[in-house]
Amino acid sequence: MTAKNDNPLALDNQVCFALYAANRAMTTLYRPLLEELGLTYPQYLVMLVLWEADRPGYEDTSTELISVSWLGRRLRLDSGTLTPLLKRLEARGLICRSRHTDDERVVTLTLTGEGRELRDRALDIPGNLLCRSGLGLEDARTLRQSLQRLLDQLPEK
């Protein structure tokens, strides 16, 4: 709470409002950078996870294949939100969705060559965004760590 106003219902005293307003402002900063790639912010998040999992030595998935359900858990998105995003990325030729050979209920994702090439064009986005935000590198790390601690404390649903 601020020193000026100890009213628990004051808008400026709400953590949720600060998170909401910061999220909207950050998404606005991302928009022109992502438009150059033809991606929306949620599509960019999907691609970040797939690019990360595509690199050698990445073992967070516990298998070589990325399933839609694992991706949903990783991004904290339900299938109703995730499926349309994946369909658009597939229509653009950035990813391929297929049924797992051992269990047809499982849909797996792979990057296409075009999806991998897009990673090279996206490499400057994090640094660009940091410059545009006005945050220093250390402040950005501290903020991310604090937000991650908060996220870890909150229930997923």
- pTM here is 0.86
Q: Which domains does the chain have, with CATH numbers?
A: 11-152 (1.10.10.10)
Q: What integer best gives the mean pLDDT of the chain?
A: 90
| Residue 135 Rama label (left phi>0; alpha psi -120 to 50; beta) | beta
| Confidence tier at 2 by pLDDT (50, 70, 90) | very low
Residue range 20-32: mean pLDDT, rounded: 96
- Which residues, 6+ apart, have CB-to-CB distance to 128 below 8 Å? 33
Give the pLDDT confidence score for residue 106 in this predicted structure. Answer: 85
| DSSP H/E element including 17 | helix 15-35
The whole-number average pLDDT for the span 88-107 is 90
pLDDT digits (tens, 9 = 90+) for 39-60: 999 999 999 999 999 876 555 5
What six digits make up the tokens of 112?
């296409």
| Residues 39, 45: Cα–Cα separation, whole Å | 10
Given pLDDT bands bounded at 50, 70 and 90, which one contains residue 10? very high
In 3-state terms, what secondary structure has residue 73?
helix
Which has the higher per-residue pLDDT, 157 or 41? Answer: 41
Please give the average per-residue pLDDT across 116-132, as a whole number.
96
- Residues of the chain above pLDDT 90, percent: 78
pLDDT reading at 118 higher than 60: yes
Whether 96 shows a pLDDT value over 90: the answer reads yes
Is the pLDDT confidence value at 62 over 90?
no
The beta strands (E) that lie in 76-129 are given as 95-99, 107-111
Query: Mean of the pLDDT values across residues 72-91?
Result: 95
Q: What is the distance between the alpha carbons of residues 25 and 143, in angstroms, rounded to a whole number?
A: 15
